[in-house]
Amino acid sequence: MATIRDVARLAGVSVATVSRVLNDHPYVKREKVEAVKKAIAETGYIQNINAINLKKGKTNLVGMVLPLLDHPYFSQLMQGISTAASVHHYKLVLYQTGYQEGQEMEALEMLKLKQIDNLVICSRQVSLAVIERFRQYGNIVLFENGGNTPLSYTFVDHYACFMNALTYLYDRGHREIGFSINRSDGTNSKQREQAYKDFLETKGLRYRKEYIVKDCLYLEDGERVLKQFSKLQQRPTALLATSDQVAAGIMIASPEYGISIPEDLAIIGFDNHPIAKAMNITTIGIPLNSIGQTLFEQTLSESASHKEVPVSLIERLTV
Amino acid sequence: MATIRDVARLAGVSVATVSRVLNDHPYVKREKVEAVKKAIAETGYIQNINAINLKKGKTNLVGMVLPLLDHPYFSQLMQGISTAASVHHYKLVLYQTGYQEGQEMEALEMLKLKQIDNLVICSRQVSLAVIERFRQYGNIVLFENGGNTPLSYTFVDHYACFMNALTYLYDRGHREIGFSINRSDGTNSKQREQAYKDFLETKGLRYRKEYIVKDCLYLEDGERVLKQFSKLQQRPTALLATSDQVAAGIMIASPEYGISIPEDLAIIGFDNHPIAKAMNITTIGIPLNSIGQTLFEQTLSESASHKEVPVSLIERLTV
DNA sequence: TTGTAAGCGTTATCAA
DNA sequence: TTGATAACGCTTACAA
């Protein structure tokens, strides 16, 4: 494998000159440029990016920490990050964690070792305090409300979202409202749960844990919601679904359970995935693609910034 | 930032010894190991992976070339690759091409520069001949029938799939069969088209280009199929959909067009995405997750291998 | 069991 | 406008 030295020798110049030609530096005589280019062609010379990375202390690689890959929520986020990264000549390295702390730590270690320049954390188990310790090695950006952390973050106020959605249902006469969540220990889930409790208290409604369905994330989880509710004496008349996937799953399974939507059960989904539009599901629209882009851009910024993304309820036919 | 030399100095040993400790080499006195470990802790020393990569000529990064990220087809493939990669301590770098040759070339260039060790190409525009020229720089694995290319590949016989599906429909009385595809210049699309033509000829059926709907990939494309068909005098009685997403999109939009499935239109989807199960869509099951794993493993193998993945028609309620 | 020193392939400073 | 040469931070013969 030819190196810069081979090229220099063949072209009859120094390695410095070859490097200059390679990097489009000014102040190289045209003849030398030609000679170098010829030598490069003849030797089949290829730059070694690891050497360049070592020298420059930079890889143009950005990491993305996420629990799983097969959900539109993360796909859209990924699409956004990837698009923005591409503009800045960055490539995306995936750290799929499966909600395992160890996997997250691995991503942080890679930042430390300088395999990646920066890191976007879309979901985490590791404490903020631990993550913060790694920020000396590169920018770390969070997709959550990080409070007064020195890290950059972009977030959606899930508490407010949930409150709005609950109020929307309440105003339309619903008093028995349930909801589904994914992992109850998730940052977003906690906010949603809190909003739910606070709302109930404000309105003087009773908290019934049978109205809460856990571990719902995918389309196929929708049916479980129906199954759980159908066993109840007193059933909820409305539901806030974890995501549009779950909402769609419920829609699809509902005829089988003899439930009409919205008459028997009103549904509000989350994210505004394409399926929500196709199935006319009322949902909270979250611009995940553009959030992804923002997250990447924060990764590049010298100073930390905190951004809240406004979301809106999209009225369709399931309420 | 502390280097290996700082550690050596503080521990009172040579850099070679520090390196040995770092890499768990035998033949280091216990006391020295302790001294080195202490020095590492004190200095806050961190290995620089770029230096290691340069030295070893290896990055433990595998590239994945794919056109887009927001489709379950690619998500599942990605999931499979990522899972297998993780087992071998590899991380996945995404090269999202948007079907652009230039973007694909960039991935190949990165292989050449040694930013990634190997490359999985899930979709391509660039010719096989060009791709083959890059195999000297790392293993390249294809997700298609590469014929007698020296590259490794895993593939699904889309021609046979289509033939089977067409025969299945024919045997159930269908004579007017349409299909949808994504990009007509895609490798898979061409095979499907050829099967369609051959089938028609064998059975003495007429080829009608109105029965073919192009640029269909997403859920929201389903409606366009219905729109196109509804304009026709003579409408197809059955359809082979690009993917389950399109099939589902058709299912969802069908009531609006006064079309019942399968009575007015029988549908066979592709891939067996979760939505196909939820909506009881008859489909050709393609084990994308395990294909992804196979693709990654081929990436690691010294010798090229060619694998065909068997697929099966999953009978449900849309035919 | 340990240390010296030669790479790995660049970039960039400095002097000419 | 050019060339020597010193980094970048590590691994690994080779010699001791």
Contact yes or no for B69 and A79 at CB 8 A: yes
**Residues of A in Cβ contact (< 8 Å) with B217:** none
Chain B residue numbers with beta carbons less than 8 Å from the beta carbon of A275 are: 219
Instruction: Classify domain A4-47 at the CATH topology level.
Output: 434 Repressor (Amino-terminal Domain) (1.10.260)
Query: Mind telling me how many Å the CA of B248 is from chain A's nearest CA?
Result: 10
- C-beta separation of B153 from B175 below 8 A: no
CB distance B69–A61 less than 8 Å?
Answer: no
Nearest by CB to A50, from B59, B68, B78: name it. B59
pTM: 0.93
First to last CA, chain B: 66
The per-residue pLDDT string of chain B (319 residues; one tens digit each, 9 = 90 and over) reads: 788 888 998 899 988 899 999 888 888 888 889 999 899 898 888 888 888 888 888 899 999 999 999 999 999 999 999 999 999 989 999 999 999 999 999 999 999 888 999 999 999 999 999 999 999 889 999 999 999 999 999 999 999 999 999 999 999 999 999 999 999 888 889 999 999 999 999 999 999 999 999 999 999 999 999 999 999 999 999 999 999 999 999 999 999 999 999 999 999 999 999 999 999 999 999 999 999 999 999 999 989 999 999 999 999 999 9
Sequence ranges of the domains in chain A? 4-47, 59-155+289-309, 158-285
The answer to whether B181 and B115 are in contact (CB under 8 A) is no
Please give residues of chain B from 276 to 305 whose alpha-adjacent beta carbon (CB) lies under 7 Å from any atom of strand D.
none
Residue B139: φ, ψ to 5°: -75, 135
User: Which pLDDT tens digit goes with each residue over A143-197?
Assistant: 999 999 999 999 999 999 999 999 999 999 999 999 999 998 888 899 999 999 9
Tell me the CATH number of domain A158-285, given options 3.30.470.30, 3.90.480.20, 3.40.50.300, 3.40.50.2300. Answer: 3.40.50.2300
Give B-chain residues touching A92 at CB under 8 angstroms.
93-94, 96
CATH architecture of A59-155+289-309: 3-Layer(aba) Sandwich (3.40)
Whether omega before A255 lies within 30 degrees of 0, making that bond cis, reads no
Determine the angle formed by the axes of helices B15-22 and B4-11, rounding to 10 degrees.
110
- Residue B198 is encoded by which pair of tokens? 């051959």
Instruction: List strand C contacts in B 46-65 (CB < 7 A).
Output: 51, 54-55, 57
What Å value separates CA A88 and C1' C15? 36
B56 touches strand D (CB under 7 A): yes
- Give how far B202 is from chain A: nearest CA, Å: 38
From the list A33, A2, B185, the residue with the least C-alpha distance to A13 is: A33
Is-same-fold flag (A59-155+289-309; A158-285)? yes
Nearest CA in chain B to A255: B279
